[in-house]
Structure 1
Amino acid sequence: MARKYRVGVVKGDGIGPEIVEATIDILNSLDLNISFIELEAGYGYYQKTGRSIEENFFDKVKELDAILKGPLYTPPNVREFKSVNILIRRELDLYANVRPFRSFEGISPRNFDIVLIRENTEDVYVGIEGRYRDKAVSLRIITGEGSRRIAKFAFRYAIQRGFNRVTVIHKANILKETDGLFRETFYMVAKEYPNVLADEMIVDTAAYTIVRNPERLQILLAPNLYGDILADLLAGMVGSLGLCGSAQIGENIAVFEPVHGVALDIAGKGIANPIGEILSAKMMLEYIGQRYNDGKLIKVSEKIEEAVHIVTSRRIWTPDLGGSNRTNDVVEAIKRTLTELL
């Protein structure tokens, strides 16, 4: 009997519920033997209950194969409300942030296929800061173990998906201890993967290369802060944050979500771009398929990405891409295309 997969769903805030429901509509049309379990979290849930996350959230997660998530809102002026994204990342030890950036015909200015892998738990994002008089200090933490496991992840990812080059991004010429440790550990790990080229790039050079010669790049491995910044630059090269999905992966669970925010200005208008969420679901199916050796899920994941590119090449675009189509127009076009492909 085929395994029944259990996927948690965090609909999120702003446009989150619209694009998550649109994505589940596509998945439900594909007969994938997946059951969806809703998980309550986010600022909207906080406004209703006074809690940012449901009480048994992490107990439910223990029974799941993956989580599909919409964007969550962290208001800057509500001091008692802490980021749910950071809470989930920390509690589940989601150490690998994976963001594929593949160009789109008719949208992207250059042709490229780049994957940014970002260490997701360390760096200045540990949030240890202080202020004394007119001086502010932030603690940057890079560990050998954290650097080692993300480097191993990057090389394994490259081999599994047919890439032959991993480039470590750093500023070790200036930050000789923190970035130095990240770089040194990368090259130690690289010795275990002799069939993958390991090289390096200073972070500012990486930004320049992304714009000028993105076709030269394959897998980029970065510490947390650099990865966060370069991700938006790469999304800009793709053509829109709305076209990019991501995964946050730990040892036992992974969370899949678009790279964009909650877009409160267009929430409820039916014009949000669902593609980032759909491509995140594509990554989720690939993750589950590889974890459980399910060839059907892997094949469907490939066809979802193919269908997305076919639909965008036909200029079925939401307003963020310069089009006039609605969220549902894109979803229905992808469903029709998948019917033809599968």
Structure 2
Amino acid sequence: MTGPAGATVAVVPGEGAAPEAVDATLAVVDGLGLPLTWVHPPVGAGAVESHGSAFPDAARAEIDAADATLFGATSGASVGALFHLRWGRQTYANVRPTRFRPGFSSPLSHPDGIDLVIVRENLEDLYLFLEGDLADLAPLDLTSPTDGRRAHEMGPGRYAIKAITEAGSERVVRHGFELARRRKARGCPGRVVVAAKTNMLPQTDGLFARIGEQVAADYPDVEHETFIVDDFAHRLVARPHELDVVVLPNLYGDVLSDAAAALAGGLGLAPSGCYGDDAAYFESAHGTADDIAGQGIVNPTATMLSAVMLLEHLGFDDAARALDAAISAVYAEGRHLTPDQGGTSTTADLAAAVAAHVA
């Protein structure tokens, strides 16, 4: 298969059942015969014993030196690596595709043709971890226009800061338009929807939507629409086939991308890639699945599809297409599916079936 001369990928398996999905994925990708070098930075509980820290400088150095990172999922031990990959490396665009494939256990009666991508802003909005006691807002003397009450006099409670910046909005919206343009070249509609709660949050969400309109002017070949986010949520469920690329602020993107995954068949099938100007990492959208850890039944599909995105990012386009096609073939056959998809196969069974199609 054609591609670059070689690439190095840092692997952070994470916790719970995530390492099982990562190990299965690495075995399948190894079967593609690519010039890939896997490196395993010391991260998590084991790193505390060997390096005195869950995310030592040695791990940061290996991740920064790699061409990309494949990440499992974290329940806390590997969170330092995740924070570095996300905020430290400024991977501002979280790309979460949802595409139905025959054999996926969708709850919809007619899921065929669903092929959309949610591009979630990954660094701002309410994900600043800036919260506090309402009483602390007294010096600001903030008065609500709805009922005239001052925020610090509402009673015992908490606040959170939501921040939307011009630069942060512009770069993620532009990422969405560039993606729509590439998808259009492959036969997709070439349409971008920007959604936010502009009617209730005209300053923050309104800014995000206005930036979307400004960026759209640079892409006359790409259609553009703006929706209030609750209207979009209805459209996502009622008419998902009409959607192509959707760009959302951080919180809405986090919530609604999980809803989109459910339309196709669940989080076990949902990949993601996080992109910055000079860094990228790839992880399944699901969590650590602690309840099934060690049972050998976690669905590795989301991680394998994340690996497809990883290979595309590294320039191994032929291999990415081969792996994607192999996953589709296994689901179309329906003989080696994990319990979340109505089957009885193990993680290893499904991975072996995929490997057989790419061998």
Distance in 1, Cα, partners of 2:255 & 2:345:
30
Secondary structure, counterpart of 2:14 in structure 1: coil
Closer/same/farther in 2, CA of residues 50 and 235 from structure 1, 3 Å limit: farther
Larger mean CA deviation between 131-140 and 266-275 belongs to 131-140
- Which residue in 1 is equivalent to 2:167? 145
Identity %: 35
Q: Deviations over 1:145-166 (max 9, x none)?
A: 0011111111111112224100
* CA–CA separation in structure 2 for the residues paired with 1:4 and 1:243: 28
CA distance in 2, matches of 1:227, 1:46: 33
Q: Do 2:91 and 2:280's aligned partners in 1 also have CA atoms closer than 8 Å?
A: yes
In the other structure, the counterpart of 2:322 is 303
1:67 matched to which residue of 2? 69
Matched residues in 2 for 1:12 and 1:102: separation?
Answer: 26
| Conservation of the 8 A alpha-carbon contact between 2:42 and 2:58 | no
Q: Please say if residues 72 and 84 of structure 1, whose CA atoms lie closer than 8 Å, have aligned partners that are also in contact.
A: no
Which range is displaced more, 227-236 or 83-92?
Answer: 83-92
Q: Displacement of 1:321 after TM fit?
A: 1.3
Contact 1:43 1:74 in 2 (8 A): no
Q: Distance in 1 between matches of 2:42 and 2:236?
A: 38
Q: Distance in 2 between matches of 1:258 and 1:251?
A: 21
Does the residue aligned with 1:126 lie in a helix, a strand or coil? coil
The answer as to whether partners of 1:131 and 1:137 remain within 8 angstroms in 2 is yes
Aligned to 2:282: 256
What are the superposed Cα offsets for residues 293-328 of structure 1, whole Å, 9 maximum, x if unpaired? Answer: xxxx10111121111111012222101112100011
- Asked if 1 retains the 8 angstrom alpha-carbon contact of 2:169 and 2:211, the reply is yes
Flag as ranges the 4+ runs of structure 1 deviating above 4 A: 43-50, 81-84
**Pairwise CA RMSD:** 1.8
- Please give the alpha-carbon distance, in whole angstroms, between the structure 1 residues aligned to 2:306 and 2:278: 18
What's the counterpart of residue 156 of structure 1? 178
Give the direction of change, closer, same or farther, for the CA distance of 1:304–1:2 in structure 2 (3 Å limit): closer
**Comparing 301-310 and 269-278, the one that deviates more:** 301-310
Deviation at 1:84, TM superposition (A): 4.5
Change (3 A) 1:82 1:287: closer
In 2, Cα distance between the equivalents of 1:55 and 1:35?
21
Q: Which has the larger radius of gyration?
A: 2
Matches within 5 A, 1:315-334: 315=334, 316-334=336-354
* Counterpart-to-counterpart distance in 2, 1:152 and 1:83: 28
**Higher RCO, 1 vs 2 (CA within 8 Å, ≥6 residues apart):** 2
Q: Distance in 2 between matches of 1:319 and 1:47?
A: 35
Counterpart CA distance in 2 for 1:39 and 1:148 is 33
Partner of 1:238: 264
Task: Give the CA deviation at 1:45.
Answer: 4.3
What are the Cα deviations for residues 110-132 of structure 1, in whole angstroms up to 9, with x where unaligned? 12001000000100101111114
Matched, 1:168 2:194: yes
In structure 2, what is the Cα distance between the partners aligned to 1:33 and 1:7? Answer: 11
Instruction: Give TM-score, length-normalised by structure 2.
Output: 0.87
Match of 1:103 in 2: 100
How big is each residue's C-alpha offset from its partner over 1:180-208, in whole Å with a ceiling of 9 and x where there is no partner?
10000111011011000010121111211
Q: Secondary structure at the match of 1:188?
A: helix
1:85 aligns with 82
- Alpha carbons of 1:145 and 1:53: their partners in 2 closer, same or farther (altered >3 Å)? same
Contact conserved, 2:22 with 2:72, CA < 8 A, in 1? Answer: yes
Q: Distance in 1 between matches of 2:279 and 2:5?
A: 17
Distance 1:68 1:308 in 2: 18
Contact 2:95 2:120 in 1 (8 A): yes
Amino acid at match of 1:67: T
Among candidates 302, 306, 312, match of residue 286 of structure 1: 312
CA distance in 1, matches of 2:191, 2:79: 38
The amino acid of 2:68's aligned partner reads A
Quote how far apart the aligned CAs of 1:11 are: 1.1
TM-score, normalised on structure 1?
0.91
CA–CA distance in structure 2, aligned partners of residues 69 and 288 of structure 1: 16
> Is 2:11 the counterpart of 1:9?
yes
Q: C-alpha separation between the residues in 2 aligned to 1:326 and 1:146? A: 42
Match of 1:56 in 2: 58
Structure 1 residues 55, 192: closer, same or farther in 2, change over 3 A?
same
Q: For structure 2, which runs of at least 5 residues remain unmatched after alignment?
A: 136-155
**Residue 49 of structure 1, CA deviation:** 5.9
Whole-angstrom CA distance in 1 between matches of 2:224 and 2:203: 21
The SS at the match of 2:225 is strand
Cα distance, 1:51 vs structure 2:
2.2
After superposition, what is the alpha-carbon deviation per residue over 1:240-272, rounded to whole angstroms, capped at 9, x for unaligned?
Answer: 211111001111110001000111121111111
Q: Work out the CA distance in 1 between the residues paired with 2:178 and 2:264.
A: 25
Q: d(CA) in 2 for partners of 1:99 and 1:73? A: 20
CA apart distance, 1:221: 0.2
